[in-house]
Amino acid sequence: MATTKKSPPPADDPALVAAFEARIAAGESIEPKDWMPERYRKQLTRMMAQHAHSEIVGMLPEGNWITRAPSLRRKLSLIAKVQDEAGHGLYIYCGTETLGVERDELVAQLHDGTAKYSSIFNYPTLSWADMGVIGWFVDGAAIVNQTVLAKASYGPYARAMVRICKEENFHKRQGYEICATLAKGTPSQRAMLQDAIDRFWWPSLMMFGPSDKDSPNSAELLKWRVKRKTNDELRQRFVNLTVPQAQAIGVTLPDPDLTYNPETKNWDFGEIDWDEFWQVVGGNGPCNKERLAARNAAHDEGAWVREAALAHAAKQRRGTEAA
Ligand code: BYC
């Protein structure tokens, strides 16, 4: 859990809390210099930091395929996508800084394994079809989640989501287009696609977090309008949107219980393997250790860049002072 740099204000004054909650109820945006309950600051820092880490670690599974993209066109769009994810991470880290947290502190928590990031990035990318399916499912799930976060009560986070969602839309389209192409391909291309779908479907549903009854943070986040929909509501929306997309390209989602419910107008789906989810969240997924090792190695290898940048900044400062 991230700690804040500033010392907290005196225990939250009930009158201030009431005024804050009235602003939230009126749909106002909370800005960095506004008074906010310490718990609101903590919850936002936690959630935004996890989100930023997810964007950064999320580069690894796809980065794995840049050198093996099947054409120049595919390589260009994959590089652009991975680069966008880096930008999203940096953008959200800037957002956490507006809450009074040092980025270095958050990055250190990622590197020492104490911070969380999205479970989905702890699964391996075994074939080119995984690039398509990640764009379609993972970015698709991110859009469902983040379109709602674009209306979150904290201004810097909400504004970051607006821009990020625009880019995620491009990512989803490039992924779905890869899938649509493979779906029209040879039998082995179709088999490769179906295999990727089979591996990524359930982990993508897990991206939305535990079911509402097991989500300790949801009540507070919903009360303060950081979240505007529950984990289960967003998961259901993702399923409802994705089933027709799968039908359109003639692939099968690996859930025998997937059935349309005319009463609720939802696609009912089977039980998620929550044991697997908690194992992955707890650091024991297929690639958790590999991901952390890769992030730590990248950070260590970049030490000279940070040193050079700091030395350059110090030289500039000395020059300005001397002038
Ligand atoms: N994975 O009380 P809950 C992307 C944790 S990246 C791991 O429901 P909350 C992309 C949760 O943190 C997009 N941990 O939590 C990038 C909590 O632990 P703590 C990533 C999970 O916050 C590259 C505990 O379980 N998106 O799009 O109310 C390439 C209990 O959960 C997960 C975001 O980060 C999980 N899946 O709700 C392609 C969106 N789920 O902190 C694409 C922003 C739960 O209490 N975040 N946990 O120890 C959110 O919307 C919410 O934080 C969540 C969880 C829905 C994820």
pLDDT in tens, 71-120: 999 999 999 999 999 999 999 999 999 999 999 999 999 999 999 999 99
What's the mean pLDDT in 138-142? 97
Helix (H/G/I), strand (E/B), else coil: 261: strand
Distance, CA of 5 to CA of 97 (rounded, Å) = 10
Residue whose CA lies nearest to ligand 1 atom number 11: 209
pLDDT of residue 9: 53
Question: What single letter denotes the amino acid at residue 69?
Answer: A
- Residue with the smallest CA separation from ligand 1 atom 9 is 217
pTM: 0.94
Query: Which atom of ligand 1 approaches the CA of 117 most closely?
Result: 7
Q: Which residues contact 16 (CB under 8 A, 6 or more apart)?
A: 35, 37
CA 33 – CA 286 distance, rounded (Å): 42
Interval 291-309 mean pLDDT: 96
Top mutation candidate among 43, 44, 47 for ligand 1, by most atoms within 8 Å of CB:
47
The answer to whether residue 142 scores a pLDDT higher than 90 is yes
Atom of ligand 1 nearest to the CA of 57: 23
Index of the ligand 1 atom closest to the CA of residue 146:
39
Q: Compute the distance between CA of residue 182 and CA of residue 193 in angstroms, rounded to an integer.
A: 7
Residue-wise pLDDT for 213-249, tens only, equals: 999 999 999 999 999 999 999 999 999 999 999 999 9
Give distance in angstroms: CA of 208 to centre of ligand 1: 7
> How far, in Å, CA of 144 to CA of 278, rounded?
22
Can you give the pLDDT at residue 5? Answer: 54
Query: What lines the ligand 1 site, CB under 6 Å?
Result: 46-47, 50-51, 54-55, 58, 85, 116, 118-119, 138-139, 142, 145, 206-210, 215-218, 221, 231, 281
CA distance 29 to 34: 10
State the residue for tokens 């909370």: 30
